[in-house]
């Protein structure tokens, strides 16, 4: 089976056929950095990281572009409220997003462009649109003329232009030819940052930024454009309109991940339920949080609860437990071992992570049986399959990403626990079992679980 993906623009699952054989180009709408990220923001990063990893495993040379919107109405409002420059707000929050992506094991993007670094490309795009009659300048602003693109506008979101409300993206709508026209460029306002253009100083509109960055790094026609389902309208609808009206083919596939909700409400800071990433990784380990976000199908909504989070953490720990125990028996894992066909089929079917993880858990169950029987040959095969599947999902507990987590303290903890285990061993040798049990209880109270195995005691931090 070849890779098939749900395309929002056709509302159908389509076979993935790249623009260029053997290569895949992905543009993901990244952060608007007016605030630090909550898990709803980072979900798209995890979902599209799994897609990228699967494409790489399938043999594609992937170019992954994830932008940063570092100038926007929201950033300017935060800047004014805090009394700090806009770029301080943007820089601080971009670093918070980068830390969150890294902490949850997302591979670094091939390129991560900032909107403010691409004003020249935006100017060229606006000039092309004006020349073709699809945009006009008015009072220092530049607008896209939706009536000039009436036959196509609304297809992504399955709307009719006649039913659309005004764009409401400027303070003064009187300079627009039509209230539904959207801003490509916003003229200078007191206290706001500006860049020079042929139509006067100002700053870019949100939609224009992404079209300019996507085509600069991926070309006028590329494979996949992704983002949250909340971006379909107006953001992605407007991207398509301005890009294709200018003569670019733009994205062949549109992929959108579902929202993360609390009590049927979309997560937002205004609801007081932001669940910021630093807070979340104090509740569960980063790898367990990644499992929680990757386990549901990317197009489904997630109803957040503490209970569901802890269930996900426990499910991951069952996988991790097998990998840890099997690795004590099998020291060399075959990284080239084939993936189970059911796992590959699941991911090829619109990135079906729930079905893929069901295969992982089934292999783990078989692996635990093989461990109990002492069947090293079966353990070796099943461990290789498990780790290779987990590598695709970014969840392999033995990968450098997760083995190095907490590495600053690990050498000291290792040394202290080993001293305690040596004392316990000496107590058992002299048959002082009360002392041996006391040491084990003290370690447990300190968050260290000790398991006696045929290969000697094994310890790990309690989850």
Q: Which pLDDT value is given to residue 425?
A: 76
Q: Which pLDDT value is given to residue 415?
A: 63
Q: What b-and-e string marks burial along 251-276, b requiring 16 or more CB atoms within 10 Å of the CB?
A: bbbbbbbbbbbbeeeebeeeeebbbb
Q: Which of 209, 30, 20, 5 is nearest to 110 (CA)?
A: 30
Please state the separation of Cα 339 from the chain's center in Å.
23
Answer whether 339's CB lies under 8 Å from 389's CB.
yes
Q: Which pLDDT value is given to residue 272?
A: 47
DSSP notation for 85-134: -HHHHHHHHHHHHHHHHHHTTPPPPSB--BGGG-HHHHHHHHHHHHHTTS
Please state the separation of Cα 182 from the chain's center in Å.
28
Coil, strand, or helix at residue 374?
coil
How far is it, in rounded angstroms, from Cα 250 to Cα 99? 30
Q: Which pLDDT value is given to residue 455?
A: 58
How high is the mean pLDDT in each 10-residue block of the chain (463 residues)? Answer: 96 98 98 95 97 98 98 95 97 98 98 98 98 96 96 94 92 88 96 96 96 98 98 97 98 97 65 78 96 98 95 98 95 90 98 98 98 96 97 96 63 63 78 79 78 69 60
Q: Which pLDDT value is given to residue 407?
A: 46
This prediction has a pTM of 0.88
Write the CA distances from 459 to 73, 167, 426, 439, integer angstroms. Answer: 52, 59, 17, 13
Answer whether 228's CB lies under 8 Å from 197's CB.
no
Write the CA distances from 202 to 50, 132, 141, 417, 450, integer angstroms. Answer: 38, 22, 8, 61, 63
Strand partners, 27: 65, 225
CA within 13 Å, CB half, 400: 3
Q: What b-and-e string marks burial along 280-300, b requiring 16 or more CB atoms within 10 Å of the CB?
A: bbeebbbbbbbbbbbbbbbee
Q: Which pLDDT value is given to residue 453?
A: 67
Element holding 244 (H helix, E strand): helix 237-245
């Amino acid at each position: 089976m070849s890779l098939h993906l749900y395309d929002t623009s056709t509302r159908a699952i389509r076979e993935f056929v790249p623009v260029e054989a053997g290569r895949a180009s992905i543009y993901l709408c990244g952060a608007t950095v007016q605030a630090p990220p909550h898990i709803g923001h980072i979900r798209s990063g995890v979902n599209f990281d799994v897609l990228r990893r699967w494409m790489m495993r399938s043999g594609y040379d992937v170019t992954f572009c994830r932008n940063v919107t570092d100038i926007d109405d929201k950033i300017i409002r935060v800047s004014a409220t805090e009394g700090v420059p806009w770029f301080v707000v943007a820089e601080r929050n971009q670093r918070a997003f980068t830390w969150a992506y890294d902490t949850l094991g997302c591979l670094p993007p091939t390129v991560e462009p900032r909107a403010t670094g691409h004003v020249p490309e935006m100017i060229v795009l606006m000039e092309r649109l004006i020349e073709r009659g699809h945009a006009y300048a008015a009072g220092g602003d530049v607008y896209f003329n939706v009536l000039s693109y009436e036959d196509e506008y609304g297809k992504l979101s399955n709307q009719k232009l006649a039913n659309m409300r005004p764009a409401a993206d400027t303070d003064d709508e009187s300079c627009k030819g039509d209230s539904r026209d959207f801003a490509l460029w916003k003229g200078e306002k007191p206290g706001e940052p500006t860049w020079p253009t042929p139509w006067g100083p100002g700053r870019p509109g949100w939609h224009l930024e992404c079209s300019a960055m996507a085509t600069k790094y991926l070309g006028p026609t590329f494979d996949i454009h992704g983002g949250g389902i909340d971006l379909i309208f107006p953001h992605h609808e407007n991207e398509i309109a301005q890009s294709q009206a200018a003569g670019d083919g733009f994205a062949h596939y549109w992929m959108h991940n579902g929202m993360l909700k609390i009590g049927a409400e979309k997560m937002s800071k205004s609801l007081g339920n932001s669940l910021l990433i630093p807070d979340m990784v104090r509740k569960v380990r980063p790898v367990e949080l990644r499992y929680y976000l990757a386990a549901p199908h990317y197009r489904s909504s997630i109803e957040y609860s503490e209970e569901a989070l802890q269930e996900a953490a426990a499910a991951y720990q069952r996988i991790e437990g097998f990998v840890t125990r099997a690795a004590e028996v099998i020291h060399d894992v075959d990284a080239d071992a084939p993936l189970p066909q059911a796992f590959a089929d699941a991911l090829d079917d619109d990135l079906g992570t729930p079905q893929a993880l069901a295969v992982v858990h089934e292999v783990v169950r078989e692996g635990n049986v093989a461990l109990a029987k002492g069947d090293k040959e079966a353990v070796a095969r099943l461990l290789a399959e498990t780790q290779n599947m987990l590598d695709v999902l970014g969840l392999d507990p033995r990968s450098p990403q997760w083995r190095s987590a907490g590495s600053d303290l690990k050498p000291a903890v290792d040394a202290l626990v080993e001293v305690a285990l040596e004392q316990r061993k000496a107590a058992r040798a002299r048959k002082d079992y009360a002392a041996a049990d006391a040491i084990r209880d003290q370690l447990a109270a300190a968050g260290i679980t000790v398991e006696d195995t045929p290969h000697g005691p094994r310890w790990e931090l309690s989850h």
